């Protein structure tokens, strides 16, 4: 990410920054990889360590299937009836040691606050609109937005009253970044990158709330959800600067890379974390070789599992999927277009599909309850 500054900050870091009454603002350095990764410095009215009560809320580790057959799977997330706020409305579907994946039907605002202290979070907005309120400021969100929230960021999601929000979430145990190959040695996105810094939206407004009282923050860490009661409002930040902050990128701003013949999935890569990548399939022109076959070739995943979340449109290589479907094609066995899809793609000029793909380099495990919303015949749909 690039450098940003919001609100009031002193001329020099780690020096006295005084309020009008002569007392000090409280400086907080928030960074990754010790002091050698990306970081920001925030200035609070009160000490961010002012916790008046702590207690364990619950375990939040998903329970996986004890044995998982090596087969292709299809999940209908629209059959999930669970609703709530952006935390208790989450339905975990798959995961491994690197990330957790699921969907959430957000029907109400978060009354309290939340932070993930295990790693970054990515929220993809399938539909709906609202606000992401954070200690760094507020970001308005809309359909198609990726919201990237750094580890340890205190936030709450407030959907608009008129519409519900459905989101795909990724809880990462590492930092989520743009692909390294699209950045130069200074960190700037290169000319051939499918998006650039102009497409990235940071916090729009910094709302400082100087208020004493008891405010609950639910903190996720080490498989446990802990309640921290802070002695003041957590959004007491008067200013900050640095490279670490929440940001948004809309999938509509991803510019697809095309070629004379079918391009492999890495050209769709949008983000990466430790041992996984995230790709965006967007409307695009098909291959322009006179004998090109636009549909993807059959392939065996090389040391990776492939998960696709279908957003909208007609996914040209697949039949039977719906908006909100998830397919999992695990490494170790080949997969590819359904019968008839290869021939049907010949001569087509474009696709209007929209989907998010997650490739993981450690096997994904299925959460136990997923079989109730799964198509058991999907493995045999190539017959």
Residue-level pLDDT, tens digit, the chain, 383 residues: 789 999 999 999 999 999 999 999 999 999 998 889 999 999 999 999 999 999 999 998 899 999 889 999 999 999 999 999 999 999 999 999 999 999 999 999 999 999 999 999 999 999 999 999 999 999 999 999 999 999 999 999 999 988 899 999 999 999 999 999 999 999 999 999 999 999 999 999 999 999 999 999 999 999 999 999 999 999 999 999 999 999 999 999 999 999 999 998 899 999 999 999 999 999 999 999 999 999 899 998 778 999 999 999 877 778 889 999 999 999 999 999 999 999 999 998 988 899 999 999 999 999 998 999 999 999 999 99
Domain 48-63+81-236+245-251: what homologous superfamily? Jelly Rolls (2.60.120.10)
Instruction: Say whether 256-380 and 48-63+81-236+245-251 share the same fold.
Output: yes
Residue 199 main-chain phi, psi, to 5 deg: -85, -10
Pair of tokens at residue 215: 């405010």
Question: Between the CA of residue 147 and those of 123, 170, 300, what are the distances in Å?
Answer: 5, 10, 31
Nearest to 276 by CA among 336, 153, 364: 364
SS (H, E, C) 33-58: CCCCCCEEEEEECCCCCCEEEEEEEE
d(CA 44, CA 13): 14
Query: Domain spans of the chain?
Result: 48-63+81-236+245-251, 256-380
Domain 256-380: what homologous superfamily? Jelly Rolls (2.60.120.10)
């Amino acid at each position: 990410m690039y450098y940003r500054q919001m609100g009031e900050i002193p001329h020099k870091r780690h020096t006295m920054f005084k309020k009008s009454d002569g007392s000090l603002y409280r400086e907080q350095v928030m960074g990754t990889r010790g002091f050698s990764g990306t970081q920001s410095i925030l200035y609070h009215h009160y000490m961010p360590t002012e916790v008046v009560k702590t207690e364990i809320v619950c375990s939040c580790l998903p329970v996986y299937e004890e044995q998982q057959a090596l087969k292709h799977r299809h999940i209908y997330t629209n059959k999930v009836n669970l609703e709530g706020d952006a935390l208790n409305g989450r339905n975990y579907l798959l995961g491994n040691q690197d990330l957790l994946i699921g969907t959430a039907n957000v029907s109400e605002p978060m009354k309290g606050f939340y932070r993930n202290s295990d790693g970054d979070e990515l929220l993809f907005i399938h539909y709906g609109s609202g606000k992401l309120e954070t200690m760094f400021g507020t970001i308005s969100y809309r359909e198609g937005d990726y919201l990237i929230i750094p580890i340890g960021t205190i936030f709450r999601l407030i959907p608009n009253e008129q519409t519900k929000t459905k989101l795909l979430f990724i809880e990462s145990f590492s930092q989520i970044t743009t692909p390294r190959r699209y950045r130069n040695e200074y960190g700037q996105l290169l000319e051939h990158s499918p998006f650039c810094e102009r497409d990235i939206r940071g916090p729009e407004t910094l709302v400082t709330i100087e208020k004493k009282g008891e405010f609950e923050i639910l903190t996720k860490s080490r498989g446990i959800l802990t309640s921290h009661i802070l002695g003041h409002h957590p959004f007491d930040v008067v200013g900050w600067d640095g490279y670490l902050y929440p940001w948004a990128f809309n999938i509509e701003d991803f510019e697809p890379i095309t070629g004379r013949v079918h391009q492999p999935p890495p050209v769709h890569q949008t983000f990466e974390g430790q041992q996984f990548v995230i790709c965006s399939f967007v409307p695009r022109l098909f291959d322009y070789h006179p004998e090109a076959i636009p549909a993807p070739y059959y392939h065996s995943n090389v040391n990776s599992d492939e998960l696709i979340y279908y957003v909208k449109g007609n996914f040209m290589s697949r039949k039977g999927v719906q908006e909100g479907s998830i397919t999992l094609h695990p490494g170790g066995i080949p997969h590819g277009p359904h019968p008839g899809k290869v021939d049907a793609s010949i001569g087509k000029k474009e696709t209007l599909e929209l989907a998010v793909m997650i490739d993981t380099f450690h096997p994904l495990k299925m959460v136990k309850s997923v079989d109730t919303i799964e198509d058991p015949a999907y493995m045999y749909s190539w017959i």
